[in-house]
Amino acid sequence: MPEQHLHIVSFDIPFPADYGGVIDVYYKVKALAALGVKVHLHCFEYGRMHAPELEALCAEVHYYERHTGKHQLLNSLPYVVVSRRSEELVDRLCQDEHPILFEGLHTCYHLGDPRIQGRLRIVRTHNVEHAYYAALARAERSTFKRTYFANEARKLQKFEPVLSEADHILAISPKDEDHFDSHYRNVSHLPAFHPSEKVEVPGGIGDYALYHGALGVPENDQAALFLVREVFNDLNVKLIVAGSNASSELRDAVAKSTNVELRENISTEAINALVREAQVNVLPTFQATGIKLKLLLCLFTGRHVVCNTPMVLGTGLEELCHVKDDPDQFRMAIQACMGKPANGSTLERRTAILEERFSNYRNAEAIVALLG
C-alpha cells in the first residue's frame, strides 16, 4: 500500500495540548501518525513555543507568523482569518499533490486559492464561528471587546460560504453538522479528538465540586460567576474554580465566599488531577456551540457531571450528565451526587457510549478513508 500523506493547516501550535481547539488538533495528528499517515503540519504561531514533540509525530512541521497588527481589524475579512494568510504556506502546499486538511474556518483564507484547485481539500469545523463570536459578544463586559466580537461575528457569517470550496466538511458536533449540512455538500460528523483512551473513573467519594476552564474567556468567566454567586452561595459544598487569567470580578466574588477556592494558572496535569478527584464536575455554559473538550475530559476521567442544557445540546451526551438549568436545580443535583459513588450500570452505559463514539483511532480511520 502506498504511503499516505496529509497536509494539516493548524490555527495555532497544537502542543502543549492545553486548550480546546489544540487538544482536537494534537490528538488527531497523534492518531493519524499511529495509523502510518505522513502528516505535514503547518502552524500559525503567536506566543506559543515551537514544539519538538510535534516533529516526533510528523513528517515535517512548519511555522508561519500570524499577522496580528490592529490595522487588520479594518479589513472586510474576519481578523481571525486575514491574520492567518501566508504566501510561504501556499508555496509549500503547491510543492506536491497531497490532500489538505484545514483546521477551523480561521485557517481557510487560502481554501479557494486557484493554485490549489483540484486538490482534495477537507475542513474540520470547530464551531459555527459566527454564532460562537456572537455569543462571546453577549458575554463580554468590555465595550471594545464586545464591539470586536460582534464585528467579527458579522464578518465570519459573510465569509463562511468559502466552505463551498471544500470537498469534505468534518463537523465537531451533531448540532454543527446540521447547520453545515443545510448549506454545503459532503458534511459529516467527526467527533472531537481528546487525550483519553478509555473511561477511567476513580472509585470512592470526593469531597469537593470543580469548575475549570480558561477563565479569561468571557463565557467561562460568566459561568464561574454564576456558580459562585448563584449556586454555591447557598450550598454547604466546597467549590474549586481552576483555570487561567481570572477577572478581577471573579476574584472579588471568590474572596467574599466562604466555600469557594480559586486555583489560578496551574498546570494541565494539576487540572486533570482535580477533575479526577472531584466528586462533582460542574459545567454550566451559556453558549451552545461546538462541543466543549472539558466535558469529554470530565466524562472520561471524573465522577459525576452536573451541567446545563447548552453544555450538552446537540452533542448526544445528554444522558451521561445531570442536566439542570437554574440555580435551585443545580444545588439539588450537586447535593444528590456528593454522597454517591460513580459506578454500576450508569458508568457501564457511559463507558459504552464514550469508548465507541469517541475512539481517536476509529475517528482517525474515518479521515484516512477520505484520503483515497
E strand or H helix at 54, and its extent?
A: helix 52-55
pLDDT at 343: 84
* Residue-level pLDDT at 372: 80
pLDDT score of 19: 86
Helix (H, G, I), strand (E, B) or coil at 319: helix
Q: Which residues contact 120 (CB under 8 A, 6 or more apart)?
A: 99, 100, 167, 370, 371, 372
pLDDT at 233 over 90: yes
How many CA atoms lie less than 13 Å away from 7 in the CB half-sphere? 25
351 within domain boundaries: no
Quick check: 180 and 125 in contact, CB under 8 A? yes
Q: Is residue 349 part of a domain?
A: no
> What is the four-CA torsion angle of 244, 138, 325, 350, rounded to 10 degrees?
-50
pLDDT confidence of residue 18: 86
Q: Which three cell numbers stand for residue 289?
A: 456551540
pLDDT of the residue at 75: 87
Q: Is residue 10 part of a domain?
A: yes
Query: Quick one: what percent of the chain has pLDDT higher than 90?
Result: 85
Do 190 and 313 fall within a single domain? no
Looking at the DSSP assignment, which residues form a beta bridge with residue 9?
Answer: 42, 102
Q: Are 363 and 313 part of one and the same domain?
A: no
Q: Is the pLDDT of residue 37 over 90?
A: yes
Q: Tell me what pLDDT residue 1 has.
A: 62
Of the pLDDT bands very low, low, confident and very high (cuts 50, 70, 90), residue 359 is very high
Residue 347 lies in a domain: no
Whether residues 149 and 295 fall in one domain: no
**177 and 232 co-located in one domain:** no
Are residues 179 and 221 located together in one domain of the fold?
no
- Residue 75: count other Cβ atoms within 10 Å of its Cβ: 12
Question: Do residue 237 and residue 268 come from a single domain?
Answer: yes
Residue 91 CA to its chain's centroid (Å): 29
Domain identity same for 183 and 278 = no
Q: For residues 88 and 94, what is the distance between their CA atoms, to the nearest angstrom?
A: 10
Rounded to whole angstroms, the Cα distance separating 121 from 293 reads 25
Q: Is 139 in the same domain as 33?
A: yes
In this prediction, residues 118-138 reach a mean pLDDT of 95
Exposure class string for 161-200: b at 16+ Cβ within 10 A, else e: ebbebbebbbbbbebbbebbeeebeebebbbbbbbbeebe
pLDDT bin (cut points 50, 70, 90) of residue 51 is: very high
Window from 100-104, 208-212, 303-307, 339-343 with minimum mean pLDDT: 339-343
Overall number of domains in the chain: 2
Domain membership of residue 122 (yes or no) is yes
Contact 219, 287 (CB under 8 A): yes
Same-domain pairing of 177 and 94? yes
User: Rounded to an integer, what distance in angstroms lies between the CA atom of residue 118 and that of residue 177?
Assistant: 25
Is 235's pLDDT higher than 90? Answer: yes
Residue with cell 469531597: 207
| Same structural domain, 190 and 236 | no
Q: What is the mean pLDDT of residues 181-203?
A: 94
Residue 201 counted as domain residue: no
Asked whether residue 126 falls in the same domain as residue 37, the answer is yes
**Average pLDDT over the chain, rounded to whole?**
94
Domain co-membership, 122 together with 46: yes
Residue 204 lies in a domain: no
Model pLDDT for residues 52-95, shown as the tens digit of each residue: 999 999 999 999 999 987 877 888 999 999 999 999 999 999 99
Work out the percent of the chain whose per-residue pLDDT is above 70. Answer: 99
Domain of 324, CATH number, reads 3.40.50.2000
Check: CB of residue 58 under 8 Å from CB of residue 25: no
Domain boundaries, position 114: 5-195+359-371
Give mean pLDDT, residues 236-247: 96
pLDDT at residue 54, as a whole number: 97
Q: What is the pLDDT of residues 255-296, one digit of tens each?
A: 999 999 999 989 989 999 999 999 999 999 988 776 788 999
Q: Is residue 124 part of a domain?
A: yes
pLDDT at 308 over 80: yes
Whole-number pLDDT of residue 15 = 96
Structure confidence at residue 46 as a pLDDT band (50, 70, 90)? very high
